[in-house]
Each structure stands twice: as structure tokens, then as C-alpha cells.
A and B are shown apart, each in its own frame.
Chain A
Amino acid sequence: MEFDFIEMRFPAKAEYVSTIRLTLSGLANRMGFNYDDIEDLKVAISEAVTNAVTHAYKKDETGEVTVGFGAYDDRLEVMVADYGDSINLADVKDKIGPYDPNESIENVHEGGFGLFLIHTLMDKVEINNTYGVIVLMTKYLSETGVAAYDKVFE
């Protein structure tokens, strides 16, 4: 299938996260995503970029974040790559999930909701941490009904 690919590189700094989500918002709007889906996309990309930026800060790096968009007729693919050190993916995945009301508040990890939100707000998420961390996430235009289909059978 034919698609347009857009790639941008930003400094891995907190002040650029809003610029990145505004860029995505403009593209998603042009593609015909509805308001709620655009808001979902904005949170998802911010979570991925925030992870990359936080990682760069911890290592005291002045690295870059690469953001890629694949604009298809029926979907938008968003790629976020940091080229810092790899994180322990199993460890991260272990920590994601919604808050369990039976759990005491002391055990709720303050930084544990980013990946959970990405998974919840996007239709498809793939994470690769072979070289740095690459998050590839897909959202379908709701007209196709694919998104609704996926949600039902989740």
C-alpha cells in the first residue's frame, strides 16, 4: 500500500515534547482523524517521547529523538526512537497496568502509566529495544471499523 513517510529529529529535551505532539495533531487532523482519536494520539506520542527524554536526562546525554510518521489511507503509524542505552523491556512491561483498587497507594509506582496508556490508546503497539528503544504504534481511522473491531476482540 502506498503511503507518505515523514521523519523528524528533535533534541531529547522536555521543551520539545509539546512541539512533537502539535506536529502529530496537525498531521492526524489532515488525515481525517476525529477529535478523540487525535487526543489519544497526542498522549501516546508524548508518552513515548517522554520516555526517551527521561532516559536521555538520566544519562546526562544531549541526544536526539527521531519521530517518524507513516500516513496510510486507513491508518497512521507513529515511530519514536531514542538511540540511548537499551532499557530492560521485560522489566518495564512487568510494571505496566491499571491501578488495582485493592492495592495500597504506597505500592503504586508514580512513573508506571506511560506504557500502559500507549497500549490503551493505540490500536497496535510494538516495542523493540535491540538498539536503543523504538516504539512503533498504529492508529486506524475509525471509518474503516478496524479500530472498533480490534477493541471488541481484545
Chain B
Amino acid sequence: LNLTIDVKDNEKETTLFLKGEIDIYTVDQIKRELLPLTRINGQTIIINFKDVNYMDSTGLGLFIKALKLTEEHNSKMLLTQLQERIARLFKITGLDEMFLIEQTVGWE
């Protein structure tokens, strides 16, 4: 399997632990878990990238869409534990300015 998602619920906070590769093939799996959560008013969604070893613009696109939804529905999304390669993608696209990103590994 290219990607697995573990979901941990805690009251108004849900953490998605992603493991594997995020690309055009696997992105829909995350979409199905993530987007409904963004539509819950007051919900905090934490995306844990610790075990994500590959991502490209299909992942960026999904997270942009999710971020837009959080603004519409008064929910919140936090990206955590990004590996250096993944953090770099957000940085070179300028998207690190837009997202709430915490605990990156090897952030320059």
C-alpha cells in the first residue's frame, strides 16, 4: 500500500497520521478523510507528516483546498512534523506563509 492513514479523535481535535507517499494516486484517500473534518465548525485538524516520505503538488493542492474550507467553516488545520523535503515544497512555493506549520524537521 502506498499510503495509510491513522485517525485519532480527541473531542474537537482530530489528528491524521499519514504514512507513505502523497501523489495523484493516493491523494483521494486523504481527501475523503480530511475534507469532511474541515466542514465541522470549531474543529481542529492536525496533519502529522512524520512518516510522509514523498509529496508533490497534488498534495499541496489538496491542503490548499482543505485550508480554504477551514476558513469557510471556522475550523482550523495544523501541519506538523514535516520532513525536510516536504517542508521545502511548502517553502519554495511560498505556501509556508499561508499554512500553520509546526515542528518541521530540518527547517532552514
Contacts and interface: CB of A to CB of B under 8 A. Distances in A.
Chain B contact residues (Cβ within 8 angstroms of A): what range?
Answer: 20 to 34
25 contacts: A14-B25, A17-B24, A17-B25, A18-B23, A18-B25, A39-B85, A47-B56, A47-B57, A50-B23, A50-B24, A99-B93, A99-B95, A99-B97, A99-B98, A101-B94, A101-B98, A108-B64, A110-B61, A110-B65, A111-B57, A113-B57, A117-B56, A117-B89, A117-B92, A120-B92
Interface of A: 14-15, 17-18, 21, 39, 42-43, 46-47, 50, 53-54, 98-101, 105-106, 108, 110-111, 113-114, 116-117, 120
B56 A43 contact: yes
A14 B21 CA distance: 13
B21 A50 contact: no
A53 B27 CA distance: 14
Contacts of A120: 92
Contact of A50 (B2, B56, B89, B94): B56
A32 B54 CA distance: 21
Contacts of B95: 99
B23 A110 contact: no
Contacts of A46: 23-24, 56
A105 B2 CA distance: 30
B93 A98 contact: yes
Given A43-B89, A105-B98, A108-B98, A14 B24 contact: yes
A152 B58 CA distance: 29
A14 B27 CA distance: 10
Interface in B12-69: 21, 23-25, 54, 56-58, 60-62, 64-65, 67-68
